[in-house]
Amino acid sequence: MTTRNDTRGKAQIYLDQAATSFQKPPEVLRAMSEHMLNRGGNPGRGSHRLALAAAEEVYACREAASALFDLGHPERVIFTMNTTQALNLALRGFLSKGDHVLCSDLEHNSVFRPLWAMQKEGRITFDIFSTFVASPLRNEEMILQDLERRIRPNTKMVVCAHASNLCSSVLPLEAIGHLCRRRGILFVVDAAQSAGVYEISMRRMGIDALCVPAHKGLMGPQGVGMLLLGEGITPTPLIFGGNGVDSLSGDMSEDMPEAYEAGTLPGAGISGLRAGMGFITRVGLDNIHRHEEKLGNRVKTALLRMPHVSVYAPHLEGGVVLFSVDGMTSEEVGAFLDRHGICVRPGFHCCALGHKTLKTPDEGAVRASFGYFNTEKECDYLITAVGLLG
């Protein structure tokens, strides 16, 4: 149950899980506290017991991530600050002048803006393939055909979100990955909305670089992310500095993962991430996904019955529902719901491409997103509140 009291003493229902998961499992909080109390050394920076204990915890988290995402190489799990940093490392680290990139029409700004910036710099060009998200007839073949017809001789990379942060769209990663392998193209995946909710196998799906956050579906804290690199994949480092290896050299060590981890790692956050992955492994991805989908469908079905409400891509099923209310801006709807103790997110959700694709109003739309700790009672409270706006 995610109903809690906010700082003003009011009851709140948290339906903004696509931004960051809340509440966190108790074991995540315990793991972070345990780290600060008993493993507070700097990993990789010394041979004393606290530094070694911290280093062991960091490697254990790499092992957990490697297993969860079927990477098979714990040393190729790179810790970052968030998904955005992981994506920037993958994009800027792989792409060279003259390269061409393809991304989907639902991409978050964490993909769109780096590509836009590199195109402005004259470094790359990029095109956008269709997900056909607005069509109830969409299928895997439609997406693959549109993607393949946009491939050029200099196409170096396909980068796409596994699951959208706007609606319940999920792309066919395995089919896209196999296409990329056949054409000799790098495949980079933004799993910000899918990690911890959907099964992801890097080896089976042909993923070269997987970018994930701790603070969403993996149930960990903010301030930690990961870039998982497939075998033989070595982007140029994005940040340079101390990493505890070969300290007398001016060059960064080429060892994995230290080549990409300049500066002190967020030890407590990594402990929380490891505990979060342990939680979702115990609960089961299928159970989490089914629960979120059940809640999203419950709300979507009710909103579709309301003549004053528009739901975007209503044919999709999942834990994210995007809607607007006639005669009100998204910000007005969000403020109304907040006064009723309901946390949703209005606006454009850092996703210009997706809002253009879904043809939302000029003022954006309202997103309700559900997590494992949400309940049907909370969904019904949202439905009742939106009904009051009619």
Q: pLDDT tens digits, residue range 132-168?
A: 999 999 999 999 999 999 999 999 999 999 999 999 9
Instruction: Give percent of the chain with pLDDT exceeding 70.
Output: 94
* Surface-to-core class of residue 390, CB atoms within 10 Å of its CB (0-12 exposed, 13-18 middle, 19+ buried): exposed
- Please report the DSSP string for 176-205 in residue order: HHHHHHHHT-EEEEE-TTTBTTB---HHHH
pLDDT at 256: 85
pLDDT at 201: 98
pLDDT at 9: 46
Query: pTM of the predicted model, to two decimals?
Result: 0.94
Distance of CA 306 to the CA centre of its chain: 31
Please name the residue that has the structure tokens 């019955």: 305
Burial code (b: 16+ CB inside 10 Å, e: under 16) for 259-285 equals bbbeeebbbbbbbbbbbbbbbbeeeeb
Which domains does the chain show, CATH number per domain?
Answer: 3-17+284-387 (3.90.1150.10), 29-282 (3.40.640.10)
pLDDT at 1: 43
Q: Which sign does the torsion angle of CA 330, 336, 337, 339 carry?
A: positive
pLDDT at 246: 64
pLDDT at 238: 87
pLDDT at 247: 66
Low-confidence ranges of the chain (pLDDT < 70): 1-11, 44, 46, 243-249, 252
Of the candidates 263, 272, 237, the one whose C-alpha atom is nearest the C-alpha of residue 45 is 263
Contact 193, 132 (CB under 8 A): no
CA dist 267 and 252 (Å) reads: 22
pLDDT at 6: 53
Please enumerate in sequence order all residues whose Cβ is within 8 A of that of 102, keeping only pairs 6 or more positions apart, or say none.
126, 127, 128, 129, 147, 150, 151, 155, 157, 158, 159
pLDDT at 50: 81
Of the candidates 86, 83, 39, the one whose C-alpha atom is nearest the C-alpha of residue 215 is 83
- pLDDT digits 0-9 by tens, 287-334: 999 999 999 999 999 999 999 999 999 999 999 999 999 999 999 999
DSSP bridge partners of 108: none
Contact 136, 317 (CB under 8 A): no
DSSP-assigned letter for residue 174: H
What token pair was written down for 360? 């939302």
